Chains A and B, each alone.
Chain A
Amino acid sequence: MSPNGNLIRELVEKHGRSRTSLMPILQGVVERQNYIADYDLTDIAKELDLSAAQVYGTATFYSFLDTVPRGKYIIRVCKTITCDMHGKKTIVQTLENMLKIKVGETTQNKKFTLLETNCLGWCHKSPAMLINDEPYTELTPERIHDIIADFMNKS
């Protein structure tokens, strides 16, 4: 049995085996461990009698369904035009400096992943970013320092 067999089975029991259950099951896995591993995708395909490529295709379509390991806290900085004009570049630089990683990377201790994302809908309070499901807006390098310092002290 693969490492997450129980979680997948639990999710399948909850959501059912039809193809429409695929999304909630994928979301359920991401909720638990921040990303969907290849063995999770094949387990889900097996349970739903889909091909592995079909499940992979669905997962890769959605940018919030990651198929590569991510840190505990996923930071997604909005890269769209309003945030860009309000200093997104400095925000990203500050984050890169603090976390010692580039966009797309995960810290050694698997705590943070830094990503860019399309519009978050916070243009009126730009620049904006998400940390997991929580939005942070009207960012400045100083605010970034405070926010990240907080997270660094969290477990």
Chain B
Amino acid sequence: MAEKLKLQIDGIDVTVNNGTTILDAARKANIHIPTLCYHEDLCVAGNCRVCVVEVGGSKALVPACAMPASEGMQVRTNTGKVRLARKHIVELLLSEHNADCTKCYKNGNCELQYLASEMLTGDPLYIDLVPEHNYTIDRFNSAIIKDDSKCIRCQRCVRTCEELQSVSALDVAYKGNKMKISTFFENPLFEVVCTNCGQCVLRCPTGALIERNYIDQVWDAIYNPNKHVVVQTAPAVRIALGESLGMAPGKIVTGKMVAALKRLGFDAVLDTDFTADLTIIEEGHELLNRLKRVLVDKDPTVALPMATSCSPGWIKFIEHTFPEYLPNLSSCKSPQQMFGALAKTYYAQKKGIDPKTIVSVSIMPCTAKKFEADRPEMRSSGYKDVDFVLTTRELGIMIRQAGLDFESLPNEHFDSIMGESTGAAVIFGSTGGVMEAALRTAYEVVTGRPVPFEKLNILPVRGTEGEVREASIKIEKTLPAWSFLEGVELKCVVANGLAHAKRVMQSVKDGTANYHFIEIMACPGGCLGGGGQPIPTNPEVRSKRKAAIYEEDMGMPIRKSHENPEIAEIYKEFLGEPLGHKSHELLHTHYTPRKRY
């Protein structure tokens, strides 16, 4: 039990654990203190000062986010002195901020703008310094745009990149009035170690870091009568999209999302979950195949442990940081790219559509997917496999642009073909999900029996935020063809957030770990906390999205990828067999070593 202490905030008694900050104590008492540099996922910086409060006995104002509460403390959050100081702080920030709000992508979803409107900042008190600064905009990247003229130097992005992702593509450079958030030598983002994960975009309080949006391009495609526009939706979009349209976090909106996409004018509304199931078949067989080649054939060229390859942020991270382990990555493309490759081949054939006229759009919880779609490796259909990638946020904007009342939309079903999926695919959206889905299938392939867990819920591999989760599953009573796996303890590890991915890979490199299968998701919590998800994304929101994902899984009639009838169909009619010739041509790829420095 932590020691308790009592303080008074605006005359209200609050009892909190020793070590609680004034900010958290105030939240407990339902008193709102404005913040800018503070973020629940990150360490305290205390640099913006907008959370200042008066504390009895102290002449200077103190930052509520950084100051621990103490016994008998008298805090006042709403005095004239406090309000004037906060207003001046915001006005000073605005004097260096390109406040051209009507032209800003974050207009209406900007923490600085919100504070300015709340404080009625009015006519500027301070000289406009924007023309004095030679601000730069980096729009060379296909995923993320960095606009220094909007930056208030709160350093949430810097802390995100270091603490959560251990990438540190961004850091603080120079000092005083020249201080800026910079990459190495102010190089454009595409030239440095940035993984495009978008976690900085998720936390930027202003429009300084935003996703590159492709909304107009997608509208153009929809309006073009000569184009057949197909859209795929990732698992984690359906449990978060509601948030960007005013609904509470944790609402499952799969049916409404499908209805909205149909009303927007997409010609076919299909599901990335279908190719998530396909990924499981291919990746599961790849894992079994690698195990066989190691255990039976004693082939020294086979790389184990095998690591998942669904998360494009993770892919770019390993390319930069552990390029010597690229052979350990599953050669499977991510579900998005499998879908793209099949949309312009299998789907086009079956529907009798010229693939030239197909525009393939994907809705992703992710900014790195934009970069992934642009990779030169991703053109195996003979065309760009995925033409445009939109984030959950961008889809939210399109739905608002179209004037749809999202909440009142009916539930509709995905189109066919490539619209059928299972619970195993849905859980791809959470950390541990790919592992669980793969085990549900691989175990059954090997033993002929379902995984020995109640209701197929393999709780030991369900990842948790902020930790690396290890689990092992013993394979017993195998089918004759897999007898070499009899008694083998399959060692798995699940990590989310690149800082944890780095730890896992370091232990593989040191030889201290002995895994067979590694699942890595670049973002905290997995895709549900992805860089393309609605803002705010914080621990509370993520836990609600996670609950929704597993609820959606439980509610699906089929919960094992290999039982998806459309999967059986595609192998019968088109692909032949898992890891077959056609699979290799369309569904598998390899990656490029990149420099960390």
User: Is this pair of chains taken from one and the same complex?
Assistant: yes
A interface residues, Cβ below 8 angstroms from B: 38, 41-43, 45-46, 50-57, 60-61, 67
Contact call B182/A57, Cβ cutoff below 8 A? yes
**Given known A-B contacts A45-B597, A57-B182, A52 and B172 have beta carbons under 8 A apart:** no
Contacting residues of chain B (154-200) with chain A, CB-CB under 8 angstroms: 162, 167-175, 182-185, 192-193
Q: Is the interface of A mostly helix, strand, loop or mixed?
A: helix
Contact call A42/B171, Cβ cutoff below 8 A? no
Count B interface residues, CB 8 Å.
18
Which listed residue, B162, B185, B193, touches A56 by the CB 8 Å rule? B185
Contact call B168/A50, Cβ cutoff below 8 A? yes
| Complex A-B: 27 CB contacts under 8 Å | A38-B184, A38-B185, A41-B185, A42-B184, A42-B597, A46-B597, A50-B168, A51-B167, A51-B168, A51-B171, A52-B192, A52-B596, A52-B597, A53-B170, A53-B171, A53-B182, A53-B184, A54-B162, A54-B168, A55-B184, A56-B171, A56-B173, A56-B185, A57-B171, A57-B172, A60-B175, A61-B175
Contact call A54/B171, Cβ cutoff below 8 A? yes
B interface residues, Cβ below 8 angstroms from A: 162, 167-175, 182-185, 192-193, 596-597
Nearest first, the 5 closest Cβ-Cβ pairs linking A and B are A51-B168, A57-B171, A52-B184, A42-B597, A53-B171
Nearest-CB distance from B316 to chain A (Å)? 14
| A residues less than 8 Å from B596 (CB atoms) | 46, 52
Which listed residue, B173, B192, B193, B597, touches A57 by the CB 8 Å rule? B173
**Given known A-B contacts A51-B167, A53-B182, A60 and B174 have beta carbons under 8 A apart:** yes
Chain B: which residue is nearest A38 at the CB level? B185
Contact call A56/B182, Cβ cutoff below 8 A? yes
| B residues less than 8 Å from A50 (CB atoms) | 168
Contact call A56/B597, Cβ cutoff below 8 A? no
Residue of B171, B172, B174, B182 contacting most chain A CB atoms (<10 Å) = B171
**Given known A-B contacts A41-B184, A61-B174, A53 and B168 have beta carbons under 8 A apart:** yes
Task: State the CA gap A53–B193 with chains docked (Å).
Answer: 9
| B residues less than 8 Å from A56 (CB atoms) | 171, 173, 182, 184-185
Task: State the CA gap A67–B193 with chains docked (Å).
Answer: 20
Contact call B173/A51, Cβ cutoff below 8 A? no
| B residues less than 8 Å from A43 (CB atoms) | 597
Residue of B173, B175, B193 contacting most chain A CB atoms (<10 Å) = B173
| A residues less than 8 Å from B184 (CB atoms) | 38, 41-42, 51-53, 55-56
